[in-house]
Amino acid sequence: MRTLKQNNSQYVKSLGNGEHLLWDYDLNYLEIWFNNKNHSSHGLIFGNTLLEFARSYPNQGYTFVKKLNELILERQLPNGAGIDCQWLITDMGKYFKCLNSFHCMNDNGYYCGYAEFTLIIPKKNPMNFNIHFNGDFSQRLNYKYNLREYLEDIFHNALLNITSDLNPERI
């Protein structure tokens, strides 16, 4: 067992559900570690908590703060209730560009296609977000199932919860 200092890591924040975000200075990676009381493999000690490695988020030219903000968005933006795909989030400087798809269902309860959309979240005022539906098919699904109003409500509630984490001084 190693301490964070011995591992050349820094504790960033708790992500909930027993997961913790750490920064590995040697690898220049953000890493997700989870609580594991019955730790059988090599891990880290943080206070009285035994942590086991879960996964890494490579830096790939991003600054630590940019990647941290993308990770916060990825964990807080909704999944499920039609938003069934992986979020692709890019820090564009003044705003975040978030790509995903909404899995539409017809009146008979059958899936009838994906409406691809882009969520633009300005850094200075995240609540001033915009949704763009990508392509003709996605536009048709948007109009047919009134997706814009539904998604605006979902994103409004999600962004209310994370604006304190995305404070402009860190962005």
pTM for this prediction: 0.56
- Model confidence pLDDT, tens digit, residues 15-54: 778 888 787 766 666 777 888 776 655 678 777 778 887 7
Q: Which two tokens stand for residue 61?
A: 């030219």
- CA distance readout (Å), 131 to 40, 143, 161: 46, 13, 18
Q: Give the Cβ contact number of residue 88 at 10 Å.
A: 12
The domains of the chain are located at: 2-60, 66-162
- Which DSSP helix (H) or strand (E) runs through 74? helix 64-76
Interhelix angle 136-145/147-162, rounded to 10 degrees, is: 90
Q: What is the mean pLDDT of each run of 10 residues along the chain (171 residues)?
A: 78 79 70 74 75 67 53 67 78 83 89 90 83 90 90 83 51 40
CB of 166 within 8 A of CB of 126?
yes
